[in-house]
Structure 1
Amino acid sequence: MPDFTDHTLALCDGGGSRYGAYLAQHAGRFHDDGDPLRPAHFAAEAWTVATSPVMSPGYVRLRPDIADVRPAFDYNGGLLLRIEVRLRQRALADSLGPSGRFGDWWQHRPLGDDGRRPRLIEPEEYDRLAVLLTATLVVPVTDHLLPVPTATRGPELTEQARQAVHALAGVLNACAPPVNQLLAAGAPCGGGR
């Protein structure tokens, strides 16, 4: 299974048959009175089914330092991807005052994690006021990057949903440099919790 690099925020799993089963369970999401959805809405539904909490573990895996990616729409119906990134307080150090004054995210390192991309989690206990920073990057997705759906169920739906999810993962991965810059700005100076 491929691993994350500085150029990847999302990877699509090889468990396509499992994803197909989830799509079959949620087939009603992929049509409007029997007609296929517009590409943007189709891709948003395909992504939603491919990720947690609908599919867990998901067909799409997010890099551990990415809190969440959710589809949304602008006022004109254009598809957006909202990338949530948890930041250490260091990103706002000048405005927060002395270090240690506020509680911060805890680092979670699962067994076997190399520590290069720690997942930040909410503290399990609070002994002082905590400032938990989250940045949201909003990425517009143009329709020409997305497949035009023609199916509302079956193997064709599964293949078109896979294509849509891979296209969205490509859009996300193209955003890796600014996400990495944000994370570097909030990187801890030392160990930390």
Structure 2
Amino acid sequence: MTDWSDTTLVRIHDDYDREMSDTGAPLDSRLGRYLTQHLNDLWDEDRTDPKAFLVWAWHVATGPIMSPGYVRKRPDLGAVRLTQSQEDGRLLVEIETPVGHGQLAQSVRPPYSAMRDWEIDRYAYSSDGHHLPLQAPHDESQPALLLAATLRLPTDGWTLHQPAGKWPVEELLIDDAKNALAVAVAGVNDIAGHRVARLIGSGGGHW
């Protein structure tokens, strides 16, 4: 399992997927159950479209449909989604994240005194002890200014997996989905990881 880092935003939990299967058989997959349950959500004409298939597989493999997901986002991020542009159909990565006041450059921080900020969720867990999720202030008797950012990036350089479109057995559908998701996870970390790091990671406040 890959540890979280400032530039690792998403990762795959394949071992957990097999451990939580119904039968424990080598080919049994928790992801497979969810894919087959939601296959009717994928239009027939989209089953051979690499972008549409990936968007569908990502939606199924992440929360709230799969919880915990086959693909998991770093705990401090609000959301990591794949979508298609309504303008030209290109594949986009969309990342939502809370942004603390201290992660902004000094010159653009809020001009208010005693204004509350995001707080670390004290009941949350992160495998590395860092990158903990943030929440609204526990003490709501004071004003708060809670900032967030949405980063949208095109994925034009990705070489997407080509799905078969017809899957006579569930294992073939699972293979197509896992291959497509592996490309996306590597791509998200590659094109977005360094940008998110400069926003909320060790480089925060210096962009």
Q: Provide the TM-score with structure 1 as the length reference.
A: 0.84
The answer to whether 1:36 aligns with 2:52 is: no
Partner of 1:171: 187
Mark the runs of 5 or more structure 2 residues left unpaired by the alignment.
19-28
- Superposed, 1:1-193 pairs within 5 Å as 1-14=1-14, 15=17, 17-32=29-44, 36-74=47-85, 75-90=87-102, 91=104, 93-95=106-108, 96-100=110-114, 102-109=115-122, 110=124, 115-142=129-156, 145-153=159-167, 154-174=170-190, 175-184=192-201, 185=204
Q: 2: CA distance between counterparts of 1:98 and 1:130?
A: 10
- Tell me which amino acid in the other structure corresponds to 1:178: R
5+ residue gaps, structure 1, are 188-193
Cα RMSD after superposing both structures = 2.4
For 1:9, the aligned partner's letter is: L
Higher relative contact order (CA 8 A, sep 6+): 1
In structure 2, the CA distance between the partners of 1:111 and 1:66, relative to structure 1 (3 Å rule), is: closer
* CA apart distance, 1:180: 0.7
Q: Distance in 1 between matches of 2:185 and 2:125?
A: 26
2:97 and 2:149 in contact (8 A); partners too: yes
Instruction: Give how far 1:125 is off.
Output: 4.2
Shift of 1:81: 1.0
Bigger proportion of residues as strand? 1
1:66, distance to aligned residue in structure 2 (A): 1.6
Distance change >3 Å, CA 2–CA 37, structure 1 → 2? same
The separation in 2 between residues aligned to 1:177 and 1:65, in whole angstroms, is: 15
